[in-house]
Chains A and B, each alone.
Chain A
Amino acid sequence: MRKETKYVSYLDYEGQYKGIFGWIFSTDHKRLGLLYLYAIALFFFVGAILGLTMRVELATPGETIMKAQAYNGVFTVHGVIMIFMVVIPGLSAVFGNFFLPLMIGAKDVAFPKLNRLTWWILIAGSILAIASQFLREGPPDTGWTFYAPYSTKTGTSVIIATTAAFVLGFASILTGLNFIVTIHRLRAPGMKFFNMPLFPWALYAASWIQLLATPVVGITLVMLIFERLFGIGFFNPDLGGDPILFQHLFWIYSHPAVYIMILPAMGVITEVIPTFCQRRIYGYKAIAISSLAIAAVGFFVWGHHMYTSGMSEQARWFFSLLTFIVAVPSAIKVFNWIATMYRGSINLQAPFLYALFFIFLFIIGGTTGLILGAVAPNVQVHDTSFVVAHFHYIIFGGMGFAFFSGLHYWFPKMYGRMYNLKAANWGAIILFIGFNLLYFPQFIIGYQGMPRRYYDYLPQFQWAQTISLIGGIILFIGFFVMVGNLVRGAKKGAIAPANPWNGTTLEWTVPSPPPVENFDEDPIIKSDPYDYK
């Protein structure tokens, strides 16, 4: 079917290399976007299996299927894979690569070869991370946070895991650099910063965090490796060091890293909502600037992870105050999304359904985040499953559901075919039910004192762990419905038109799937990217 069209799509293009090499050696941002999608989907599946394994272990008190040490390894590798290999690259590497150039009217990113190298770096780092699970010393058992002093002493393969995170960090830095230069230099003539759609805005803010914060964790992990190899004493009080320094350095990166994940997610939602309401986005400038505000203030709140570490009293209230301030720009976005829906002609398709679920879950995750951001309640629920529930609501309910939303939104553009709309809605609903069943009970038992990272628990928490297990199984069913539908759609779905959702941004002006060089004619830049008249 595609062969009959007049242009050559990026999927059919045959360059220097054939077959699979035409993909893994490609510098086309669209092909790289799909490569990222497949790699990240695979990592996500591995991480999710590890997650389900934990739920099965927690099905009964005491040992169910594994011993404590094995459980330590599973939650550590689950965290490392999900954080460094799935959610941090996630949205920006897949949809950023694919759609940033299309949305700003460019032919590719600023450094296509660097882009290809970045994918290879991600793969190299990921192989190291997965290998750490199988080495002779045993999987790392520190948690994904690698806290000193334990991480400097444990006999497990911490060095391989931290090296993996270090390598993966490079991929993140280079993607950020590439996007910043692309946005500054390659916008189509006539497109000013405030004519850009809001997904590029969100990517721009996140890219700065990737560029500036990631080196901090890189150096920190190198310090940890040196500490283990040479006993330098950065984190050892006997040698004049300080273990809390590790926590500072780690969270100076890892809090902003949350915004690396969530800012592009908010960007996707900001694209989906106006399209499916056929209404101009409410508060364009407020949303654009709030992305930058979140990125800026987000750099200064890291201490809210350390209230119980023995940090000074003054630092605690200071970080608490800033944490409350950073909630403001996030709330601005939520209000703007809801205001956009008001009196819109709503089309309840899967991308919009996922966006609604995103808002719902993000509000629960965000408000419980404020409970954690206040010092006194934080001391009560620190290191309990309350925290686990909170960040899964933000990262999975937020970033994950936004990813699914974007996937269903841009799928016809990426593959030139459409999935089954009804099945997609069912997938979304099953995922939503499974998600809440899995994570909401963890808020309750966390509040009652269920510690995180324990493979054992008191019988009084049994009820919630059982509901969570059922939720986990439903969640898996939801994945299979969603992925099965999409795979089927990519292969046999109906041919999609150029603009199935009646979107207004530039990616919908090119054919589906897009031509090799994106724009065969120069794109016409509208001063308002969301003009539905």
Chain B
Amino acid sequence: MSEHTHHITPYKTLGIILVVLFFFTFLTIEITSIHLGALTVTVALLIAGVKGFLVLSYFMHLKHESLLLKILVAMVFVLFALIVLITFIDYAFR
């Protein structure tokens, strides 16, 4: 328990992250006015990915966790991406 008390994230940092998240939400909406064609989904997912990263690192304190835990969490996302990608081997070549 004691090791966690060292890592109280100051309110200021949390506030900044919150503002950044709002900015990205705003960006997600605004970007739809630009016609990106096939890239629309990619860009939306990229922005969502950045937001997810920020939430995990700061709000869920992953930034202060051990390397092993970071790797385990990263692994889950890699797995998810691979599964989606492999599914599309079917749809893309059908």
Q: Which residues of A contact B (CB under 8 A)?
A: 212, 216, 244, 248, 252, 299-300, 303, 310-315, 318
A300: which of B76, B86, B91, B94 is its contact (CB, 8 Å)?
B86
| A212 partner residues in chain B, CB cutoff 8 A | 76, 79
Contact of B82 among A216, A300, A310, A313 (CB under 8 A): A300
Which of B's residues lie within 8 Å of A, judged by CB? 76, 79, 82-83, 86-87, 89-94
Closest B residue to A309 by beta carbon equals: B90
Question: What residue of chain A has the Cβ atom nearest to residue B80's Cβ?
Answer: A212
Question: Which B residues lie within 8 Å of A252 (CB)?
Answer: 83, 87
CA distance A311 to B92 in the complex (A): 10
Contact (Cβ within 8 A) B86 A318: yes
B90 touching A311, Cβ below 8 Å:
yes
CB < 8 Å: which of A299, A312, A318 contacts B94? Answer: A312
Q: Quick check: B82 and A312 within 8 Å, CB to CB? A: no
Q: How far is the CB of A385 from chain B (nearest CB, A)?
A: 28
Interface SS of chain B: helix, strand, loop or mixed?
helix
Contact check, B93 vs A312: say whether CB atoms are below 8 A apart.
yes
In the complex the two chains form, what is the Cα distance from A435 to B82 in whole Å?
39
In the complex, the chain B residue whose C-beta lies closest to that of A310 is: B94
Find out whether the CB atom of B76 lies under 8 angstroms from the CB atom of A312.
no
User: Given the complex, which residues of A lie within 8 Å of B94, measured CB to CB?
Assistant: 310-312
Q: List 17 A-B contacts (CB under 8 A).
A: A212-B79, A216-B83, A244-B90, A248-B87, A248-B90, A252-B87, A299-B82, A299-B83, A300-B82, A300-B83, A303-B90, A312-B91, A312-B92, A312-B94, A314-B89, A315-B86, A315-B93
Q: Is the CB of A315 within 8 A of B90?
A: yes
Kindly report which residue of chain B lies nearest to residue A322, judged by CB atoms: B86
Q: Chain A's nearest CB lies how many Å from the CB of B22?
A: 29
Min Cβ gap A45→B in Å is 36
Interfacial chain A residues near B90, Cβ < 8 Å: 244, 248, 303, 311-312, 314-315
Residues of B within 8 A of A303 (CB): 86, 90
What separation, in Å, do the CA atoms of A244 and B94 have in the docked complex? 12
Q: Which residues of B contact A216 (CB under 8 A)?
A: 83
Q: Shortest distance in angstroms between B37's beta carbon and chain A's nearest beta carbon?
A: 19
CB <8 Å contact, B93 and A313: yes
Chain A CB within 10 A, most for which of B82, B83, B89, B90: B90
Instruction: Give the residue of A244, A299, A310, A312 whose beta carbon is less than 8 angstroms from that of B89.
Output: A312
Q: Which 10 A-B pairs have the closest CB atoms?
A: A312-B93, A315-B90, A314-B93, A312-B94, A315-B89, A311-B90, A312-B90, A248-B87, A318-B89, A314-B89
Give Cα A318 to B89, complex, Å: 9
Q: How far is the CB of A164 from chain B (nearest CB, A)?
A: 25
Residues of B within 8 A of A299 (CB): 79, 82-83
Give CA–CA (A312, B91) in the complex, Å: 7
* Cα separation A314 to B89 with both chains bound (whole Å): 7
Q: Report chain A residues within 8 Å CB of B91.
A: 312
Give the chain B neighbours of A315 by CB distance below 8 A.
86, 89-90, 93
Minimum distance in angstroms from A297 CB to a CB of chain B: 11
Distance in Å: Cβ of B62 to nearest Cβ of chain A: 15
**Interface hub of A299, A300, A315 (most chain B Cβ within 10 A):** A315
